Chain A
Amino acid sequence: MSETTEQPAEQAAENPHAATVRKLADAMLRTALWPGVATVLLGIVVSAVLVGATGAFGAVVGGAVAFGSSLLTIFLMRWTGGLHPMFVMAVALGGYVGKMLVLLIVMTLLGGVEAIHPMALALTMLATIMVWAGAEVVAFRNTKIPTIVTGQ
């Protein structure tokens, strides 16, 4: 009997690639978190100066929506690290569709709120998303990923 068959079922089922994906997800979160926070704060300050309280509130809401959207991707990445790519595709597409639906409903509802300045919300959200994505690309470039992971 080989060593593989003597291992417990849960240890044998552990995918060695999961650690690689989770390492990348952690690096992306670590790199993107503070630039994202700085962008939201900058948006709040600029909106408060230019528009006032409604602008600052809009920037807070826009930053929160952008953060939620970006953090969901990191969460999906960590969650599906050890799954088969076919399941990961289903989760990624489901996450994309779900996120777009929820965001469409949220943005449509926010459009009618008087206390929110729409342009402050939109520009802060856009800036946060762009900065977050750029920081994630930087993290991807700086993270060493082994080309071949044996063991499965």
Chain B
Amino acid sequence: MSNIVLAQAAESAANINPGLAAIGYGLGAIGPGVGVGLIWAAVINGTARQPEAQGQLQGIAWISFVLVEVLALIGLVVYFIASAA
């Protein structure tokens, strides 16, 4: 009897796994979104204070953008693995 219950529980857990993965991906995309916003807000502030430094500020911002975006892409890959399992 307990084996049947455990099997049903495992089956229902597998059914909600894609949904949980999608929720996890959504949560994982929030952090990088905030990060991207903060990066470019800092560039706008810095350029307003010193327009001559715009090129360097934008370069730093783009490499930061790439690193922050990697986090979101890792979340996407984890979502793919969890939803395909």
Q: Which residues of A contact B (CB under 8 A)?
A: 15-17, 19-21, 24-25, 28, 66, 69, 73, 77, 81, 84-86, 88-89, 92-93, 96-97, 99-100, 103-104, 107-108, 110-111, 118-119, 121-122, 125-126, 129-130, 133, 136-137, 140, 143, 145-150, 152
Report the Cα distance A126→B83, complex, angstroms: 16
Total CB contacts across the A-B interface at under 8 A:
125
Report the Cα distance A133→B65, complex, angstroms: 10
Task: Indicate if the CB atoms of A81 and B52 lie closer than 8 Å.
Answer: no
Closest B residue to A152 by CB, please name it.
B51
Task: Indicate if the CB atoms of A89 and B44 lie closer than 8 Å.
Answer: yes
Q: In the complex, which residues of chain B have a beta carbon less than 8 angstroms from the beta carbon of A152?
A: 51-52, 54
Report the Cα distance A28→B33, complex, angstroms: 23
Report the Cα distance A122→B62, complex, angstroms: 25
CB proximity of B9 to chain A, nearest CB, Å:
24
Q: Which residues of B contact A (CB under 8 A)?
A: 25, 29, 32-33, 36-37, 39-41, 43-44, 47, 51-59, 61-63, 65-67, 69-70, 72-74, 76-77, 79-81, 83-85
Q: Could you name 29 residue pairs across A and B whose Cβ atoms are closer than 8 Å?
A: A15-B54, A17-B58, A21-B59, A85-B40, A85-B47, A85-B58, A88-B61, A89-B41, A92-B39, A92-B40, A92-B65, A93-B37, A96-B69, A97-B33, A103-B73, A107-B79, A107-B80, A118-B81, A118-B85, A125-B73, A125-B77, A129-B74, A130-B70, A136-B63, A136-B66, A140-B59, A140-B63, A149-B52, A152-B54
Specify the main secondary structure of chain A where it touches its partner: helix
Closest B residue to A107 by CB, please name it.
B80
Specify the main secondary structure of chain B where it touches its partner: helix
Q: In the complex, which residues of chain A have a beta carbon less than 8 angstroms from the beta carbon of B85?
A: 118
Report the Cα distance A97→B55, complex, angstroms: 24
Tell which of A16, A69, A77, A96 has the most Cβ of chain B within 10 Å: A96
Residue in A28, A69, A89, A136 whose beta carbon sits within 8 Å of that of B73 in the complex: A69
